[in-house]
Structure 1
């Protein structure tokens, strides 16, 4: 066995004899991008595209400063700090092989709770042209019921009172942009890389809502000097497991405390709206387009919603990974029907996209037995995901008086899931900011199923849609009486008979 090498800059030349590593001079790279949220997805996606770009040695001004925003990001911050921003990307191919390389695009790391002013100063730095975000769907502080920014959030109230020590992205961005304005600097691009339709619009609307209250005189400057491109991002990136870390050490002799694992597929479709310049990511596979919306809608309502469908139904059946759920022919047939009957009719024309091929590719990607994407990861924060991935499909179908039965079934299954046990009575690991409220309404739903739909911040006005409520109530009773598998079989048979 080769000697174990700790992943860091000092050992990089030696590590390069074992697996591909950055060949560019990292010490000469300037930071042009501040990225907030340095979890697995960013490191498998934007940071990889940027790393590929930096191998063109004429490009030296697009290094990434990774910001760990939240208190629980301490571990990833310390890991990357100790490894000089370096980490290993392990791509799990469909044939079971692994492609491994070291990524070097993150050239600086900051931990926001430790030094908020340093992060604000970095975001305001003249060399920074882009501030990009992976802060999860819930990070945008949007309330589905009011369709507005949630000023009731205690963290937002904290930021309004403590401008120099913010806790949310809105507090940081506001203070950084204020510094740019008062110093007479240029604006920048704020780029969301989260799974939200119109993620650029959402970012702009939520930020301006906050700014109007926190720093009203800044609003016009932001409108004139900051751009917010929409983008569609795609790559399945499961949580890194201890066995992934062990595999890396055993096969390469490299000690990386937090490598990233992902599937081979990746996609990034971006609106070309960068007010202060941008990397030429299109040379390494990104697509720049005039209108991202159709691509986003397709991906969120098919891939992301599909993940949630498999996760919720799979969890109730006792599965632990997504490939196990999609390996159940009844569940995969149900997902197919959901995509064909309820989602496809609301997508409209997608130029250059073969939808049937796309849907088929999703089932193959979900079924990649090497990825082992944990169901509890996919089901985490469903309260933030449901309004974005599933509700738009339901609302569009209600408007055209189309089918909502399959989405209603998934919603009923989520209500049962929120009781906290699978069908065999085993405890479920539920990770959701609204866990207590979901559980309370799920318990009330035992006697009165509609109670679950009363969570306005998740379901909006869905409880007023009689057609949906009837389909949901019927599905709820069916699941309770017969179990998910029997219900899904019956639904599949009915769909086939009706089409």
Structure 2
């Protein structure tokens, strides 16, 4: 989702004087699906940290379905940890927004009503902590992206030197980080003798439940050993796998949706028909009947999580870096080039032997479905958007597969080209000499490395592979260094399009 406040058409625009709201639902066209419940009867049971586009197109839709089925005490209170943009856009709309599901057959519009309120953490951190500490809150879910956990991706441990962590330890009542808010609210519930809420991460972290549990416990231990022990023994951190492609909402999207509604929606979300949510069934404080809304409840999410990270997310990142360098603005545009589509499939095929899936899982069919989804011409999913925060994404999306293939004695050339694409991208200059807006927590460090080495493959690859926060010990493996250096050298020599076109894995 864009970090900027959306431009809201003034009254008197082509959409009339109407703004999407509870009062104006009756004015919507008949083909627009509306909430099938009385919103005034809904009470909150979930606080969600990071109420961006993905949450509103995924988990909030599931809850909307469950509210329609009678689960009236499971409404959502959303929280933005940084910007007030979402609150400012949705508050005048009573937190209603449009889900626009696009495919080659057209667009279906649905109004989602499961979000009841939006908090802005920096404005009133104490109010958000109180919401989370309220015994009525039984689940705190998160989509704060990989970087939002203030951890080291290669190890999965808390980054104690992260500025937000340092701030939160000094100011426990006014935290900045998601981890700080979780621990502050849990500490308050412990003091009050209230049962803890379940922490439900919906981000693309490896073993996200276990990882977040470890990070939260490590942070709590820096405040109080007893608090950390209580969290470790009493708080559930179920793992999840989430899957839905949700591009950034554009001004063109807002205009198109508002036209379809006949009234203004300041911040709709656009997505694809496919959606999947697999959840470890561990909720001591209770949960809604997720299965009734199509959620798959399992005892172990790990194989499904690895399948998604190593097939979908890995190929998505490969297409993003190499496609961007080749001049493609979107994933769908990149997929129109047969060689890029073939390369994406090869990333998936190379990852498949590293997966241990339940019997009956058809990885070939799953891979084919991904290629079809990536090619959806109605979704304008920008390569630049997917390329963000690569330092946080590479370990679980690409590097874990490379480690496993090296242990198996297999080639890593395919993934090496994807990693080399990232290296070429983070230099901050594209193949035409234009600046790249690199968005990454380590952007300054990566840029400094690129400037010190220059566009020389062996020097740049060697220096970046030494960034332990990303590559850990894998960067020192001579097989890794050789494969990545060769791939990066080819990128510098012939460019991304030609490198992909002529790629042949060993």
Which TM-score applies when normalising by structure 1? Answer: 0.95
Using the TM superposition, give the Cα deviation of residue 485 of structure 1 relative to its aligned residue in structure 2, in angstroms.
2.3
Greater shift in the superposed pair: 247-256 or 14-23: 14-23
Using the TM superposition, give the Cα deviation of residue 17 of structure 1 relative to its aligned residue in structure 2, in angstroms.
4.4
Give the aligned partner of residue 396 of structure 1: 404
SS of equivalent to 2:84:
helix
SS of equivalent to 1:89:
strand
The structure-2 alpha-carbon separation of the partners of 1:231 and 1:145, relative to structure 1 and needing over 3 Å to count, comes to closer
Q: Trace 1:136-151 onto structure 2 (pairs within 5 A).
A: 136-144=145-153, 147-151=156-160
Among residues 486, 499, 502, which one is paired with 1:474 in the alignment? 486
Give the aligned partner of residue 316 of structure 2: 307
Give the aligned partner of residue 386 of structure 1: 394
Using the TM superposition, give the Cα deviation of residue 140 of structure 1 relative to its aligned residue in structure 2, in angstroms.
1.6
Give the aligned partner of residue 251 of structure 1: 260
Give the aligned partner of residue 474 of structure 2: 462
Q: Trace 1:190-205 onto structure 2 (pairs within 5 A).
A: 190-205=199-214
Q: Contact 1:4 / 1:253 at 8 angstroms: preserved in 2?
A: no
Describe the superposition over 1:151-170 as per-residue Cα deviations: whole angstroms up to 9, x where unpaired: 11111111001111110111
Correspondence 1:294 to 2:289: no
Correspondence 1:488 to 2:500: yes
CA root-mean-square deviation: 1.5
Give the aligned partner of residue 9 of structure 1: 22
Correspondence 1:53 to 2:66: yes
Give the aligned partner of residue 155 of structure 1: 164
Give the aligned partner of residue 353 of structure 1: 361
Q: Name stretches of at least 5 consecutive residues in structure 1 with no aligned partner.
A: none
Q: Trace 1:19-38 onto structure 2 (pairs within 5 A).
A: 19-38=32-51
Counterpart CA distance in 2 for 1:433 and 1:37 is 17
Counterpart CA distance in 1 for 2:206 and 2:15 is 48
Count of residue pairs the alignment pairs up: 489
Using the TM superposition, give the Cα deviation of residue 2 of structure 1 relative to its aligned residue in structure 2, in angstroms.
7.2
Describe the superposition over 1:50-98 as per-residue Cα deviations: whole angstroms up to 9, x where unpaired: 0011112x3211000001111xx21112112221111100000233x00
Q: Contact 1:270 / 1:289 at 8 angstroms: preserved in 2?
A: yes
Describe the superposition over 1:343-388 as per-residue Cα deviations: whole angstroms up to 9, x where unpaired: 0110123333211010011111011111010111110111111112
Counterpart CA distance in 2 for 1:167 and 1:102 is 31
Using the TM superposition, give the Cα deviation of residue 145 of structure 1 relative to its aligned residue in structure 2, in angstroms.
5.2
Counterpart CA distance in 2 for 1:470 and 1:218 is 47
Greater shift in the superposed pair: 441-450 or 107-116: 441-450
Using the TM superposition, give the Cα deviation of residue 146 of structure 1 relative to its aligned residue in structure 2, in angstroms.
5.3
Counterpart CA distance in 2 for 1:322 and 1:145 is 27
Counterpart CA distance in 1 for 2:15 and 2:387 is 40
Counterpart CA distance in 2 for 1:246 and 1:350 is 44
SS of equivalent to 1:303:
helix
Counterpart CA distance in 2 for 1:387 and 1:346 is 15
